[in-house]
Amino acid sequence: MQHVDKLIRSASLNGYIELVESLGRDPYAFLRAVGLSARVLDNPEALIPSHTVRELLEATARDTGVEDFALRLAARRTLSNLGPISLVLKDEPTPRQALDTLCHYEKLLSATLITRIEDAGQVVVIREELLPRAGLGTRQAMELAVGVKMRILRELIGPQWRPQQVCFTHRPPADMAYYRSFFGRNPTFNQPFNGLVCAAADLSMPHTRDDPGAAYFVRGYLETALRRRDEGIREACREVILALLPGGRCTAQLVARHLRIDRRTLHRHLSDEGLTFSALLNQVRSELAMRHLLESDLPVGEVAVLLGFSAHSSFSHWFRAAFGCSVSHWRKQSVGEYALAD
């Protein structure tokens, strides 16, 4: 199935050139290798393919030998790097409400990043997910996304703030020192989700609003931009599937309900794009399966749960039909090739 290029602001690479130069390497060579012109980085609002950014981050981390490259890039971020959205976030009365607003406008920053906020008693869980794409590693892009969220919250709450937990689905780095310094604690790896666990009280702290008048006009501009960025039913459907899979219930009926349409309308829209719901579900599952099996050390049973299978045997049967071999054989062969590529 052909992928539609998803876009991200070039501001996602803010500080990239300076960071690579500080490592004694040529950033322009890395940019050319993935087909990016350095001039596009001069305009933070310019839109570039998100898969190109992922490829650039992975290649740079690999070739420089700096495993925490994305976190070093995140350390250079400030709230102002979000552009006009930063004015609206500063206008919200609490960090929690600022997070909700950021989620609302996130498509204007990146078409592949999905943030979900869950209230769980005295904690708030901030879950980050990247729309999968076969053959593309996500480690660096995910660490950049979680690191940037951390930086945003520190500006909204206070420079000494730290989360209660930091979680990543991929395997741990060889050296945890920079991770510990950046987050103020050791992250945990091979977890069921990517993101931050925060004290609810921290996110409820009121803060001084900047300029409500300016924020009002910016909201109007952002709402117009959001309407223009509508990406169609297929991408909306992929996002809902991604959210529902770990819960084990991901039917066309349930996806349609989340999209506020009926099941027949969902099937009709997908058919207009030459798709079926089951084909789209299988595509998302296949891409997620490859990511988890390649980038994490999660047991196969846990991968099965994250892909929405209630039984290990059901996952094994589906995997063999989709990939033509057993899970263990594919993982052994592919992880070996993945390590050689690194």
Mean pLDDT of 109-122: 91
- What pLDDT is recorded for position 183? 97
Q: Is the pLDDT of residue 322 over 70?
A: yes
Whether residues 215 and 334 share a domain: the answer is: no
Q: Assess if residue 238 is contained within a domain.
A: yes
Shared-domain flag, residues 256 and 116 = no
Q: How confident is the model at residue 227 (pLDDT cuts 50, 70, 90)?
A: confident
pLDDT tens figures, 154-188:
999 999 999 999 999 999 999 999 999 999 999 99
Q: Indicate if 326 and 248 belong to the same structural domain.
A: yes
- Give 116-145 pLDDT, tens digit per residue: 999 999 999 999 999 888 778 899 999 999
Supply the pLDDT for residue 213: 66
Domain boundary among 197, 219, 241: 219
Q: Cα 83 from chain centroid?
A: 19
User: Is 2's pLDDT higher than 50?
Assistant: no
pLDDT of residue 207: 74
User: 152 and 93 in one domain?
Assistant: yes
The pLDDT of residue 217 = 76
Instruction: Give the model's pLDDT for residue 210.
Output: 62
Q: Are residues 157 and 193 in the same domain?
A: yes
Would you say residue 226 lies in a domain? Answer: no
237 lies in the same domain as 161 = no
Please report whether residue 228 resides in a domain.
Answer: no
- pLDDT of amino acid 231: 63
pLDDT value of position 1 = 43
Q: What is the DSSP string of 150-178?
A: HHHHHHHH-TT---SEEE-SSPPPS--HH
**Does the pLDDT at position 38 exceed 60?**
yes
% of the chain residues with pLDDT over 70: 94
In this structure, are 246 and 191 located in the same domain?
A: no
Residues 119 and 184: beta-carbon distance below 8 Å = no
Contacts of 151 (CB under 8 A, 6+ apart): 74, 75, 77, 78, 79
Compute the distance between CA of residue 153 and CA of residue 173 in angstroms, rounded to an integer. Answer: 24
Whether residues 158 and 246 share a domain: the answer is no
Assess whether pLDDT exceeds 80 at residue 332. yes
Highest mean pLDDT among 40-44, 98-102, 238-242, 334-338: 98-102
Q: What is the pLDDT of residue 215?
A: 77
pLDDT of 4 higher than 80: no
Question: Does residue 278 fall inside a structural domain?
Answer: yes
Distance CA 171, CA 338 (A): 13
Of 219, 243, 266, which marks where a domain is finished? 219
How many residues can be counted in the chain?
A: 342
DSSP state of 5: P
Query: Is residue 242 a part of any domain in this protein?
Result: yes
- Name the residue with higher pLDDT: 258 or 30: 30
- Digit-coded pLDDT (tens) for 231-288: 678 888 888 898 888 877 889 999 888 888 889 999 998 998 888 999 999 999 999 9
In a domain, 86, yes or no: yes
- The per-residue pLDDT for range 40-62, each reduced to its tens digit, is 888 988 889 999 999 999 999 99
Q: For 58-79, what is the mean pLDDT? A: 96
CATH number at residue 211: 3.90.1520
Boundary of a domain, candidates 192, 219, 246: 219
* CATH number of domain containing 258: 1.10.10.60
Tell me whether residue 308 is in a domain.
Answer: yes
Q: No. of H helices and E strands in the chain?
A: 17, 6
Is 54 found in the same domain as 152? yes
Which two structure tokens, joined as six digits, stand for 144?
């950049």
Q: CA 110, CA 236: separation in Å to the nearest integer? A: 14
Total number of domains constituting the chain: 2
DSSP 3-state assignment of 107? helix
Mean pLDDT of 214-241: 79
Question: Residue 261: what pLDDT?
Answer: 86
* Rg of the chain over all Cα atoms, to the nearest angstrom: 20
Task: Find all residues with CB under 8 Å of 48, minimum gap 6, and list them.
Answer: 7, 8, 9, 10, 36, 40
The pLDDT mean for the chain works out to 89
Q: Where would I find the H helices in 40-84?
A: 50-64, 69-74
Query: Residue 1 falls within a domain, yes or no?
Result: no
Looking at residue 167, its pLDDT comes to 97
Residue 248 and residue 199 share a domain: no
| Contacts of range 229-235, beta carbons closer than 8 Å, 24 or more positions apart | 229/107, 229/108, 229/111, 231/4, 231/107, 231/111, 232/273, 233/259, 233/266, 233/269, 233/270, 233/273, 234/4, 234/269, 234/270, 234/273, 234/275, 234/280, 235/4, 235/6, 235/111, 235/131
Q: What is the pLDDT of residue 230?
A: 60
Is the domain of 79 the same as that of 136?
Answer: yes
Domain enclosing residue 334, as ranges: 233-341
Whether the Cβ atoms of residue 104 and residue 224 lie closer than 8 Å to each other: no
Shared domain for 210 and 243, answered yes or no, is no
pLDDT at position 336 is 66
